Structure 1
Amino acid sequence: MTQAMIRSRVPSTELVPVRVVDSDIHPMPAPGQLVEYIPEPYRSKILTHKVGSTIYYDAPDFNHAFAMRVDSFTEDGGFPGSDPDLAFQQAIIEGGSDIGILEPGFTAKRLPEWSQAICTAHNTWLANHWLDSHNNWHQRWRGSICAATEDTAGAVREIEKWVGHPYMSQILIKAEPRPAWGDPQYDPIWATAVKHDMPVACHLSRGFYETMPAPPVGIPSYNHDFMVSYSLLANNQVMSLIFDGVFDRFPELRIVLVEHAFTWILPLMWRMDAIYEARKSWVDIKRKPSEYVKEHIKFTTQPLDYPDDKTELTRAFEWMDCEKILLFSSDYPHWTYDDPRWLVKHLPAHAREAIMFRNGIQTYHLPESVPALPGQTKVW
């Protein structure tokens, strides 16, 4: 039935309520697909040869599956995330998500203009190959406007270019570029996001050379400590946003931290609040730091770190007011994929609806109902 619907590509007139919003699905350009959208003169200069990994990746079966679900490769060997129909079948029909937020994996380059050119290409590619009427016939995909914060003026132009697209739901940036987000040089980007009432999401990335997220002691040797360092990067960006007054300058700004984990935010809020109380006369912000976090920042659930004693996780959820700050995410098609039917069981009962779909609907301004899909897995 589902395959017949894909062939007809006609949305159902029956509507069903949205019960799962997946805030992290990764589309991937097919070989050669992105190049045609890179603006000149960058297209003619681009290097297309493959290079070796700079950091040893310790994911299971990485040499064979590149840290992806082994069943997410296409029948002809295409890379996971490169086929909208397969992603639809696995993440929406079988996985049970009702709406998926697409987040292309663009990486920072050494030159700001190159980073922006890559963002420009990804935005056009996403609109033409995922959000068009042929591939988004089911109306379940929502896109991200990729913007390179290193080139502030270019980022604003790119946002303004795509903000009117009916299926673009957020602005997507990276956390690696320096200085930290509290610097006034980024204010035009925040102002544009607020102007159009769009959230700004940040997904972890792997840049090149000095653009990589390095801990204070330098680039780590292995993937496992490198992955932990992403949380340290987000930790510093959160502090910069708060203590440098970004949320006071832009009271309507909304930030989403994707795949940076989230359990670390609880002790960070405790520490920031303690410093705020001790040095309040020296600090210009108007409220306790934890209040800014709960009002302005959302975190995706994947990766969900939890201790052996699950009751400790439950207490942490309660202490951080998880129903205010969390968005469900699966991280499809990576090997770390979290099935929503598994994830929902780990959430406090009173917070499940908020995390699984209500926060997503509010954050991304999504509809509360979508065309029905016969055969779709029901998470609830």
Structure 2
Amino acid sequence: MIQQSAQISARRPAEEHIAVRCVDSDVHPVPRSGELVQYIPEPWRSQYFLTHKYADLIYYDAPDYAHAFAMRVDTFPADGEFAGSDPDLAFRQLIMEAGADIAILEPGAYPARLAEADHAMSQALNDWQANHWLDSHNNWHQRWRGSICVSIEAPELAAAEIEKWAGHPYMAQVLIKAERRPSWGDPMYDPVWAAATKHDITVSCHLSRSHFEELPIPPVGFPSYNHDFMVTYSLLAANQVMSLVFDGVFDRFPTLRIVLVEHAFTWILPLMWRMDAIYEARKQWLDIKRKPSEYVKDHIKFTTQPLDYPEDKTELSRALEWMECDKILLYSSDYPHWTFDDPRWLVKHLPEHAREAIMFRNGIATYHLPETVPALEGQVRVF
């Protein structure tokens, strides 16, 4: 521990490099009190976001929410700030102790109903990441990678934000939300896909909690309970996958890469079967060029957390084999949430032949990450 503290104080990377053996695709940094608001552009700062307390917008149902806000209790820093707000603590717990070599940061914010206001929040999150996590003081170890947050409901503004940040050395992906209507296959979103593919940068979509009328709506109407909603998020992702495939997005943008974060993934196997069956029966009327499952395996990735597995874990093993998990899965921890999956635990649940692909090879390829990083004395290694 003394050695780790000394390294943090030094704030300079080691000359020796080690191979990347664990890429974490879902880590949630949180601004300290007062940090974010300074980056929100006017007039949205004063006239929209400062007209109410941020805490008034929070609703998240999870075990022990009243005490720890659904976070790991040990992730709250000693200064009383929120879990995930201290880059040094996150570095120690996630990199040094859990063994992640590179972590993709995915900041979240409650969405605004007005597209321009939501865009203003995205701008603030990007500036905040650059100045508080990706700067030379906090990313001295070169392990953090940020997300270009954009508001997909304002496609032209989103594309401009991608253009602004795509050249940043530590921005690894574009981050969008899945709730917006219409679905992603609509040509209105083409400026976003065009900007992402122009710069060869992955587009990720994280599970989000939106306003009630913007939450997933099953065909029979709104669910009755929060746990119903939690299940419907996989249905939301399934609809976006179908839209991307059948509306020809991957034919229009053949180098587009999509990552679905925290939407679970076991559902993709029967969905691929069903889409392929429909394709075979109706392909004379379809414009797409290949089987839907081929588009999924070539263009879409899913993160491992949450890992839904049955009581008989051999059933999960079979499902992982059938869906060719080595092609479509990326390891994720969900740090600092209570659902955190330690990489040393997760790797044991994966087929042996797919472990390296899921834990780091797919991540390196998907986010165009370096294959080596500066060495850290005392860091836990997953492999």
**Structure 2-normalised TM-score?**
0.97
Which aligned pairs between 1:40-59 and structure 2 lie closer than 5 A? Answer: 40-45=42-47, 46=49, 47-50=51-54, 57=61, 59=62
Q: What letter matches 1:16 in structure 2?
A: I
Question: Which residue in 2 is equivalent to 1:140?
Answer: 143
Where do 1:322-341 residues align within 5 Å? 322-341=325-344
Tell me how far apart the structure 1 counterparts of residues 257 and 54 of structure 2 sit (CA, whole Å).
37
Could you tell me which residue of structure 1 aligns to residue 278 of structure 2?
275
Q: Aligned pair count? A: 379
2:318 alignment partner in structure 1: 315
1:210 aligns with 2:190: no
Aligned to 2:16: 14
Q: C-alpha distance in 1, partners of 2:220/2:284? A: 33
Q: How does 1:340-359 map to 2 (within 5 A)?
A: 340-359=343-362
Matched residue of 1:379: which SS? coil
Q: Secondary structure at the match of 2:219?
A: coil
- 1:204/1:100 Cα in 2 relative to 1: closer, same or farther (>3 Å)? same
Write the letter of the residue equivalent to 2:15: T
Distance 2:59 2:379 in 1: 39
How far residue 56 of structure 1 moved from its aligned partner, in angstroms, is 6.6
1:52 positional shift: 5.0
Q: 1:367 to 1:56 in 2, by over 3 A?
A: closer
Residue identity matched to 1:27 = P
Q: Any idea what the Cα deviations from partners look like across 1:176-207, whole Å, max 9, x if unmatched?
A: 11000000000111011110000000001111
Q: How many Å separate the matches in 2 of 1:53 and 1:128?
A: 25
Alignment of 1:184-333 (within 5 A): 184-333=187-336
2:244/2:250 contact within 8 Å kept: yes
Quote the RMSD (CA, aligned, Å).
Answer: 1.2
User: 8 Å contact 2:105–2:144 — kept in the other structure?
Assistant: yes
Q: Is the 8 A contact 1:155 1:189 kept in 2?
A: yes
Give the aligned partner of residue 2 of structure 1.
Answer: 4
Deviations 1:234-283 (A, max 9, x none): 00000000000000111100000000000000000000001111111111
Equivalent-residue separation in structure 2 for 1:371 and 1:361 (angstroms): 16
Distance 1:73 1:328, change over 3 A: same
Distance 2:149 2:216 in 1: 19
Deviations for 1:289-317, whole angstroms, at most 9, x for unmatched residues? 00000000000000001111111111111
| Runs of 5+ unmatched residues, structure 1 | none
Aligned partners of 2:202 and 2:259 also within 8 Å: yes
| Cα distance in structure 2, aligned partners of 1:352 and 1:126 | 30
* Contact 1:55–1:221 (8 Å) recurs in 2: no
Per-residue deviation, 1:223: 3.0
State which of 14, 28, 32 in structure 2 corresponds to 1:26: 28
Answer whether contact 1:108 1:211 (CA < 8 A) is retained. no
AA in 1 matched with 2:26: D
Alignment check: 8 A CA contact 1:206 1:213 kept: no
1:178 is aligned to 2:207: no
Amino acid at match of 1:237: Q
- Secondary structure at the aligned position of 1:205 is classed as coil
Instruction: Please state whether the residue corresponding to 1:263 is helix, strand or coil.
Output: coil
Distance 2:164 2:60 in 1: 38
Summarize the Cα distance change of 1:108–1:182 in structure 2 as closer, same or farther, 3 Å threshold: same
TM-score for both structures, normalised by structure 1: 0.97
SS in 2 for 1:31: coil
